[in-house]
Amino acid sequence: MSATVPLLGLETEYGVVRDKVESYDVVEESMRLVRRCEMKSEFGNWAYSRERSHQDMRGFNVSSLAQDEEEDSFCAEDRKRPYSYWEMKSDRVLENGARFYNDHTHPEYSTPECGSVFQLVAHDLAGERIVAECARLRNQEGEPGSVQIFKNNTDYIGHSYGTHDNYLISRRLPFEHWVERLVPFLVTRQLYTGAGKVGTELRHDNSFSGLQLAQRSDFIETVLSIETMTQRPIINTRDEPHATANKYRRLHLILGDANMSPYATALKVGTTRLVLTLIGEEKLSPPVELENPVNDIKTISRDHTGTVLLKRVDGGTITPLEIQESYLESVEKNLSGQCKEWDWIIREWTRTLDELQYHPEKLADRIDWAIKKDIFSRFMESEGVGWDDPWIKSLDLEYHNIDPERGLYRGLEQTGDVVSMFSEDEVTRAVKQPPEDTRAFVRGLAVTHGTGKIKNIHWTGIEFTDGGFIDLSKIVTSADVEHLLSSKKEQYPWL
């Protein structure tokens, strides 16, 4: 089986609201939420000096980013607060190898590096459980109102926060090779990965009424950009591999939605991984070049059928469904029969596109936008309201509430109305244990057994107070993990 994409990861910024109070400081709420985490963790020692966010895959460095300006403004504001900038960040590396910290106005959970799609989805669900438990503990403190946490991508007043999927890919091929083959796929994958969104937040065109496929589509502004907060791109060009730089790139995608459905998350990451595998093996020709992919993202998001016509550069038109079917055909031809997980992805990808075309109502147990369409339509019919009623936007938000007592998706889980992919035991295991076949296993062991001995920690390595250092940047395969464990056993007996 190809190892073109050996490591996968997800980063999720959660929305925070304190209800029933007139005002609150969202930065402080986010900080205090992270600080309520009772898991064993390495606190406050994240190695920011190893971050390289200004290097662009197109071969240059940028002098500044929009996030730098925001950091500066936040720092100015933070000086008024009774704690330092680093206390505010409240960085934690958890015993399961994940990172959990305050990204200023959002608690962010970054999964450990995973070697399989199912493993990654389980760790994404583990992140939900960890954040929900922090909220539960926070709400026991007896302050007015209660903290509510939402796994979504918009506050419905013009702000968007991200869910980023990450893939370790080869540096052997030019970046442009990846871009031209990947853009049409990314533009159209929202047909099954979109989390659904009531209305629109486009400032220049707010005439849309109804349910969109995806939440992030309104906020995509360009094809390529290193930025993540302005000029949000289809493909982010940040060149920060977190691995051996002359061998690998980290493809950092910021256009995706936060899915409540683990099935949708598995399809999102799984189909993308298979397409990247084909591109890396040079078995995929560009299926089509779209005339205006940025506008197409928004057009597709407003059509539930996948049949809207998109203009091609070479003339003529093509539908989103036809683009997805072209990718699926290439994947099925080249990658079928290589492993059970890949075959599951191919089978469910086929099934989903088929049902979207012929029986879209059947998607309402596993694709987020289709679940919303079903339950909101039935609610509107019973209450005699339309898509523009504020009630529906409120329900849209509550769909993403991770509180088991309040969240609409949580209620559907409890009644068995949505597809369940993992047992509670599997998710609980991911809360506590890192993947054993990736470098996250070493990081998790260090956190569990190295209390008081860690000077700083990062995706790429662990520095100890005695001067020792474990380099994780070269640890990519399970064989690399085994070699590291055996070679360092004498120096670090807890490995």
N- to C-terminal Cα separation, the chain: 29
Cα–Cα distance measured from residue 475 to residue 461, given in angstroms and rounded to the nearest whole number: 10
Residues in CB range of 315: below 8 A, 6 or more apart: none
Contact indicator for 325, 351 with CB cutoff of 8 Å? no
DSSP string, 83-143: S-HHHHH--EEETTS-EEEE-SSSEEEEPPPBSSHHHHHHHHHHHHHHHHHHHHHHGGG--
**Strand pairing partners for 93?**
42, 99
Contact indicator for 194, 297 with CB cutoff of 8 Å? no
Contact indicator for 62, 69 with CB cutoff of 8 Å? no
Residues in CB range of 241: below 8 A, 6 or more apart: 168, 171, 248, 249, 250
DSSP classification of residue 401: B
Residues in CB range of 445: below 8 A, 6 or more apart: 434, 494, 495
Helix or strand or coil: residue 50?
A: helix
Contact indicator for 271, 194 with CB cutoff of 8 Å? no
Residue 381 burial by CB count (10 A; 0-12/13-18/19+): exposed, middle or buried?
exposed
**Would residue 103 show up in a list of annotated catalytic residues for this protein?**
yes
Cα–Cα distance measured from residue 447 to residue 435, given in angstroms and rounded to the nearest whole number: 14
Q: Which of the following is catalytic: 91, 103, 165, 396?
A: 103
If we measure between CA atoms, which residue out of 228, 230, 238, 265 comes closest to residue 114?
A: 265
If we measure between CA atoms, which residue out of 439, 455, 428 comes closest to residue 495?
A: 439
Dig out the tokens for 486 from the structure.
Answer: 């055996």
DSSP classification of residue 160: B
List the catalytic residues: 103
